[in-house]
């Protein structure tokens, strides 16, 4: 699931000045995607690397990948040229887009010590969840690009195979999770993610190996649910933790998660964040992807 960029490809990408991207509404423009693909396919071993990435995300047993772009970040910095390369890699998987009007493509996720600790920009444990859980059409992929890791060494990413966790539950538990009894969060000023879905089932499909597992651990504390539905969700949460993998993103690490297969979260940042200057704190950039019609990665 960790993909290193071949040295000859790295060298070519460092010298490849991709053009500024253009948007078509909230999506990366088709013209930009075609231009990026034309430029990248001319570089050595790019097609091979892109195929490895797609297989890691949608092949049997897959669901997430980490592209190690650290050497490119070191050579180029993490400004526009680097972001264009990361965007181009993402476009090999699906169509990049932003559901948030205030962020034209990439969304900053920094660290705020006065924020709810369980939020993405907080300093505490960010429990397993899928992004935009209460949308009828959530992003097929969520991605996180590490610009700065926690300088104090905390905040490992956590991921868990959602369908494998569901498969370990009892039939009665799965039946409860398939009921439209769950709700979480607000829904406003969003683009291209459908309509608000409330209440929603956690299990989005009758097939245990398909569909979204619409779960966020935050709804256990912040939603009014029946005791039976709470207990079923807690059992799923426990299985997600039991099956989790954990790793720390380094500068230039690019995590891509297939939301139809895996849920993600983050361990707490290291104590002492208030002593770290704001400009030195952990910083991730988030980008969402929409699978095209007929794209097997969305299956």
- Is the CA virtual torsion 99, 103, 108, 113 positive or negative? negative
- Return the C-alpha torsion angle 164, 167, 169, 175, nearest 10: 120
Measured CA angle at 221 (ends 124, 212), to 5 deg: 85
Query: Would you state the torsion angle of the CA atoms of residues 21, 24, 29, 30, taken in this order, to the nearest 10 degrees?
Result: -170
What is the pLDDT, as a whole number, of residue 11? 98
Tokens at 181, concatenated = 């009894």
| Helix, strand, coil tally for the chain in percent (to 5) | 30, 20, 45
**pLDDT at residue 201 in the model:** 96
Report the C-alpha gap between 70 and 2 in whole angstroms. 12
What pLDDT score was predicted for residue 209? Answer: 66
> Are 142 and 257 spatial neighbours (Cβ–Cβ below 8 Å)?
yes
pLDDT for residue 165 is more than 60: yes
pLDDT tens digits along 91-109: 999 999 999 988 889 999 9
Spatial neighbors of 291 by CB under 8 A, at least 6 apart, are: 94, 95, 140, 141, 297, 298
pTM of the model: 0.95
Q: Does the pLDDT at position 296 exceed 90?
A: no
What does each C-alpha distance from 13 to 22, 32, 40, 88, 91 come to in angstroms?
Answer: 20, 17, 8, 11, 16
What element of type H or E holds 107? strand 107-109
- The Cα 71–Cα 81 span in angstroms is 13
Q: Which of 124-138, 202-216, 250-264 is the least confident region?
A: 202-216
Place of tokens 């499909």: 205
Q: For residue 53, is pLDDT > 80?
A: yes
Residue 14: strand, helix, or coil: helix
Q: What is the CATH number of domain 2-291?
A: 3.60.130.10
Farthest CA pair distance, the chain: 59
């Amino acid at each position: 699931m960790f993909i290193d960029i071949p040295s000859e490809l790295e060298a070519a990408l460092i010298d490849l000045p991709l053009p500024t991207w253009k948007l078509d509404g909230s999506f990366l423009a088709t013209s930009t995607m075609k231009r990026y693909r034309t430029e990248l396919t001319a570089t050595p071993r790019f097609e091979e690397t892109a195929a490895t990435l797609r297989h890691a995300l949608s092949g049997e047993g897959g669901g997430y990948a980490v592209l190690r772009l650290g050497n490119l970040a070191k050579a180029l910095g993490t400004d526009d040229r680097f972001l264009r390369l990361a965007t181009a890699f993402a476009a090999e998987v699906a169509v990049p887009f932003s559901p948030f009007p205030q962020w034209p493509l990439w969304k900053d996720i920094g660290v705020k010590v006065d924020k709810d600790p369980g939020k993405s920009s907080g300093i505490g444990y960010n429990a397993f969840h899928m992004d935009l859980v209460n949308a009828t059409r959530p992003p097929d992929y969520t991605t996180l690009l590490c610009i700065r890791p926690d300088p104090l060494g905390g905040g490992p990413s956590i991921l868990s195979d959602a369908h494998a966790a569901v498969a370990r539950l009892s039939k009665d538990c799965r039946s409860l999770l398939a009921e439209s009894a769950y709700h979480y969060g607000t829904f406003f000023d969003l683009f291209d993610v459908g309509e608000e879905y409330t209440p929603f089932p956690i299990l989005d499909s009758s097939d245990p190996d398909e569909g979204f597992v619409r779960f966020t651990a935050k709804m256990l504390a912040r939603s009014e649910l029946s005791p039976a539905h709470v207990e079923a969700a807690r059992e799923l949460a426990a299985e997600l933790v039991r099956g989790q993998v954990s790793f720390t993103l380094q500068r230039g690490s690019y995590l891509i998660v297939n939301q139809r297969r895996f849920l993600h979260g983050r361990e707490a940042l290291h104590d002492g964040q208030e002593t770290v200057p704001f400009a030195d704190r952990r910083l991730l950039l988030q980008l969402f992807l929409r699978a095209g019609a007929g794209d097997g990665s969305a299956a």
